[in-house]
Amino acid sequence: MTKKEPILPNVPAVQVIERMFTLIDVLASREEAISLKEISDRAGLHPSTTHRILNDLATGRFVDRPQPGSYRLGMRLLELGNLVKGRLNVRDAAVGPMRELHKRIQQPVNLSMRQGDEIIYVERAYSERSGMQVVRAIGGRAPLHLTSVGKLFLATDDAERLRAYALRTGLKGHTKNSITELDALERELAKVRQSGQSSDNEELELGVRCMAAGIYDDQNKLVAGLSISAPSSRMEDHWLAQLKETARQISQTLGGGKP
Model confidence over 63-74: pLDDT tens digits? 999 988 899 998
Distance (Å, rounded) from C-alpha 110 to C-alpha 159?
28
The answer to whether residue 7 scores a pLDDT higher than 60 is: no
The answer to whether residue 35 scores a pLDDT higher than 50 is: yes
The answer to whether residue 56 scores a pLDDT higher than 60 is: yes
Cβ-in-10-Å burial (0-12, 13-18, 19+) of 71 comes to: buried
Distance (Å, rounded) from C-alpha 38 to C-alpha 50?
10
The answer to whether residue 185 scores a pLDDT higher than 60 is: yes
More confident residue, 186 or 4: 186
Residues composing the chain? 259
The answer to whether residue 5 scores a pLDDT higher than 60 is: no
**pLDDT of 82:** 75
The answer to whether residue 76 scores a pLDDT higher than 90 is: no
Within 8 A by CB and 6+ apart from 103, the residues are none
User: For all residues of the chain together, what is the average pLDDT?
Assistant: 88
More confident residue, 36 or 6: 36
The answer to whether residue 148 scores a pLDDT higher than 50 is: yes
Distance (Å, rounded) from C-alpha 46 to C-alpha 40?
6
Fold category of 13-73 in CATH: Arc Repressor Mutant, subunit A (1.10.10)
Please report which residue ranges of the chain form alpha helices under DSSP H.
13-28, 36-43, 47-59, 75-105, 148-154, 159-169, 182-195, 239-253
**pLDDT of 8:** 46
Distance (Å, rounded) from C-alpha 200 to C-alpha 92?
26
Could you give the percent of the chain with pLDDT greater than 70?
89
Pick from 39-43, 113-117, 255-259: least confident? 255-259
**pLDDT of 258:** 55
**pLDDT of 11:** 58
Distance (Å, rounded) from C-alpha 202 to C-alpha 135?
14
**pLDDT of 131:** 53
The answer to whether residue 30 scores a pLDDT higher than 90 is: no
Q: Provide mean pLDDT across the span 7-20.
A: 72
**pLDDT of 172:** 95
Within 8 A by CB and 6+ apart from 217, the residues are 86, 223, 251, 254, 255, 256
**Region 82-253: CATH code:** 3.30.450.40
CATH 3.30.450.40 in the chain is located at: 82-253
- pTM of structure: 0.66
Closest C-alpha to 73, from 19, 18, 20, 1: 20
The answer to whether residue 177 scores a pLDDT higher than 60 is: yes
Distance (Å, rounded) from C-alpha 16 to C-alpha 4?
12
Closest C-alpha to 191, from 152, 137, 221: 152
At residue 10 the predicted structure's pLDDT band, cuts being 50, 70 and 90, is low
Q: Are 54 and 63 in contact (CB under 8 A)?
A: yes
